[in-house]
Structure 1
Amino acid sequence: MKKKASDLECPIIHWNADSRVKEDAAEYGAARRADSTEFSARIIRLVDALPNTRAGNHVAGQLLRSGTSPYGNHGEVEAAESLKDFIHKLKVCLKELKETRRWLRLIEKSKMLSEKSMIPILAETEQLIRIFFTSIRTAEQNAK
């Protein structure tokens, strides 16, 4: 039996029949926006701390794009027009977070910034990756 859109649930976000994302709990949306806002702000501060060298500027530009993209894309998730669109936009956020993780690891390995200063932002990136991965998996399972 095929599920109706109104039956599809994600533990974090509900998908309802009018094809709009509805927050499971009122605080979820605000909390996720706050998380992504703070994450993006930390990325911006980190980018500003990178050395003003050819390599530093290249990495800074890449990290600035990938590290702030989940903030804007999460807004797209909240305005998804269908379940397929919802899942796709979550996957875009996940892809950008994974790219961000790679740039952060490169910064750490190339010693552009100290390893100690990279630990918190890498941990936060991993946490956000897990959150988005779980949300995608749950939405896909519930869509069956």
Structure 2
Amino acid sequence: MPFARFAQDRRGAAAVEMALLAPILLLILGGLFDTSRLVFQTMQVNATAQAGVDFALNHPWDAAAVRAAAESATDLPETVALPERRIRCVAGGKIVDCADPAGGAPYVTVTATLPFVPITPGAGLAMPEALTATATARTP
């Protein structure tokens, strides 16, 4: 009857339970980590776009200087900012391209992009490949 004695022995049961639950707990922890990184980096990309527009509003137009100011606003070196200045109009509460440029005003738009690579890509979470933010302001 060695099997009956083995079945009643509870030593090591916690280790077996932990071995079964550890992968699930690690996936949950990885998902939480990725989600927090996603939120933080989204805020950084938004700040990059806004910093570029703020710089363009307070300085003469220079696309390279706007880009440099926007990209230096965050500590994420992979962030890319693309500034543009166009004549645009407001129609229906939205900023749109003008059919007649004479009726428009100069607007600056800065689009910031950052690639996002999750730590746990196989966790089943839908994560974007890149984070993008756009800021637009009317310039004087």
- TM-score (normalizing by structure 2): 0.33
| Larger Rg over CA atoms | 2
- TM-score (normalizing by structure 1): 0.32
Kindly indicate which of the two structures has a greater share of residues assigned to helix. Answer: 1
